[in-house]
């Protein structure tokens, strides 16, 4: 197993390189990059931005001529301004030089500075991580802790009234978008129109530091109650139905019939034989489910509850073409996904010791 893990860790390097490389060149040739964004700002802000670009020295004036230095939208700007903007964002260098420099920096986890938000990219990510970790971890934990037992119970009582009604409820929950359910929760429980039980913004209260440790825990979950409820309501359906169908498929197999014929009790059959086989497909989907919940599933929820997380940071950076933030988020998300896939393989062997990746 150690040799298998070592090989998988080695494969992380070319996989990560390929993903970063493909996305780098696709984004570089896409229109509306940071230079174009800065040119648009320069045209709208007048001489103020010119003075900052020129380092506070002599003012670089807007030119009413026809020069535009090859950039769409730069008509009316002095070529010196365009060159200053290109130097500011590092676009005065050839694309291959920028690519090699990015690979060297990313190999040492040096993600540089944000182009538009100001400050180091790592600091920005660290600032947003508590929100994303809170939403992603608790939402995933709740979904799995509820959906797996629910799916098992539905499989055992397949066709019963409980199975029918629970299926209807989870499908309705799946059909309602998370952001729409979030609006309903805000109107009912946080707006004051009906109730004013929960806060509308932030991860903790303003006086969090003055609270005792148990008050801090209560305040933390008080702020998370509504956003996590909005996130998990649609997540129960897919996982519970997947669990149910997986267990039903295993329950109807010949080895279960043989185990019953030998006189084994239902609990032993279910949890010692069926469980390890049925859970494999659920474990296989965990890395992608966790990454989706961690980075993308919470974006609209973060906006609606004024939570500054990684999902919102990535979306804003993509709109602004803030390449250092975009690529660093992609790099970290991809690396985390690859490592989680290795952990998923290790979990296979824990659930079912018959699986031997080393032999393969």
Work out the mean pLDDT of the chain and round it to a whole number. 78
Instruction: Name the more confident of 354 and 185.
Output: 185
pLDDT tens profile 65-124: 444 455 554 555 566 666 766 666 667 778 888 888 888 888 888 888 887 777 788 888
How far apart CA 308 and CA 99 sit, in angstroms, is 30
Query: Residue 82 has what pLDDT?
Result: 65
Residue 309 near residue 132, CB atoms below 8 Å? yes
Q: Where residue 57 falls among pLDDT bands split at 50, 70, 90?
A: very low
What pLDDT, on a 0 to 100 scale, did the predictor assign at position 222? 92
For the segment 136-162, the average pLDDT, to the nearest whole number, is: 88
Ordered structural domains, the chain, with CATH:
33-108 (no CATH), 122-351 (1.10.3720.10)
Looking at residue 88, its pLDDT comes to: 62
What pLDDT sits at residue 43? 60
Residues with Cβ within 8 Å of residue 139, at least 6 apart in sequence? 228, 231, 232, 235, 293, 297, 298
- Give the mean model confidence (pLDDT) for residues 281-290: 73
pLDDT of residue 56: 44
* pLDDT digits 0-9 by tens, 197-253: 888 888 888 888 888 888 889 989 999 899 998 888 877 888 888 888 888 888 888
- Side-chain-side CA neighbours of 241 within 13 Å: the count stands at 14
Residue 165 is predicted with a pLDDT of 92
Residue 212 to residue 306: CA distance in whole angstroms: 25
pLDDT at 6: 84
Interatomic CA distance for residues 33 and 21, integer angstroms: 17
Residues 15-44, mean pLDDT to the nearest whole number: 76
Residues 294-321, mean pLDDT to the nearest whole number: 78
Mapping DSSP onto H, E and C, the string for the chain reads: CHHHHHHHHHHHHHHHHHHHHHHHHHHHHCCCCHHHHHHHHHHHHCHHHHHHHCCCCCCCCCCCCCCCCCCCCCCCCCHHHHHHHHHHHCCCCCHHHHHHHHHHHHHCCCCCECCCCCCEHHHHHHHHHHHHHHHHHHHHHHHHHHHHHHHHHHHHCCCCHHHHHHHHHHHHHHHCCHHHHHHHHHHHHCCCCCCCCCCCCCCCCCCHHHCCHHHHHHHHHHHHHHHHHHHHCCHHHHHHHHHHHHHHHHHCCHHHHHHHHCCCCHHHHHHHHHHHHHHHHHHHCHHHHHHHHHHHCCHHHHHHCCCCCHHHHHHHHHHHCCHHHHHHHHHHHHHHHHHHHHHHHHHHHHHCCCCCCCCC
Q: How confident is the model at residue 349 (pLDDT cuts 50, 70, 90)?
A: confident
Q: What is the pLDDT of residue 50?
A: 45
């Amino acid at each position: 197993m150690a040799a298998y893990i070592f090989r998988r860790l080695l494969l992380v390097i070319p996989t990560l390189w390929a993903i970063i490389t493909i996305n780098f060149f696709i984004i570089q040739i896409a229109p509306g990059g940071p230079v174009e964004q800065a040119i648009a700002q320069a045209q709208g802000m007048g001489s103020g931005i010119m003075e900052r670009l020129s380092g506070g020295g002599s003012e670089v004036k807007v030119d009413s001529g026809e020069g535009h230095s090859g950039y769409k939208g730069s008509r009316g700007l002095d070529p010196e301004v365009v060159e200053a903007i290109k130097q500011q964002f590092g676009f005065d260098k050839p694309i291959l030089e920028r690519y090699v420099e990015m690979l060297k920096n990313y190999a040492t986890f040096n993600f540089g500075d944000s182009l538009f938000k100001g400050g180091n990219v790592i600091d920005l990510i660290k600032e947003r991580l508590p929100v994303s970790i809170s939403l992603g971890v608790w939402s995933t934990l709740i979904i799995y802790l509820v959906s797996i037992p629910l799916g098992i119970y539905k499989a055992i009582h397949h066709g019963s009234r409980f199975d029918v009604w629970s299926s209807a409820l989870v499908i309705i929950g799946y059909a309602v978008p998370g952001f729409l359910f979030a609006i309903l929760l805000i109107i009912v429980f946080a707006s004051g129109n009906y109730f004013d039980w929960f806060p509308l913004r932030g991860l903790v209260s303003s006086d969090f530091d003055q609270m005792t440790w148990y008050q801090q825990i209560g305040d933390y979950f008080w702020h998370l109650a509504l956003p996590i409820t909005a996130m998990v309501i649609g997540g129960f359906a897919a996982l519970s139905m997947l669990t149910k169908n997986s267990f039903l498929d295993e329950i109807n197999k010949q080895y279960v019939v043989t185990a019953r014929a030998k006189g084994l009790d239902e609990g032993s059959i279910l949890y010692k034989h069926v469980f390890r086989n049925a859970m494999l497909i659920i474990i296989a989907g965990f890395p992608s489910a966790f990454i989706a919940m961690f980075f993308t599933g919470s974006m609209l929820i973060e906006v609606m509850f004024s939570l500054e997380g990684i999902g919102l940071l990535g979306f804003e950076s993509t709109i602004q073409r803030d390449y250092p933030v975009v690529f660093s988020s992609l790099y970290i998300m991809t690396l985390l996904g690859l490592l989680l896939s290795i952990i998923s393989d290790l979990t296979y062997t824990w659930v079912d010791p018959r699986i031997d990746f080393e032999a393969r």
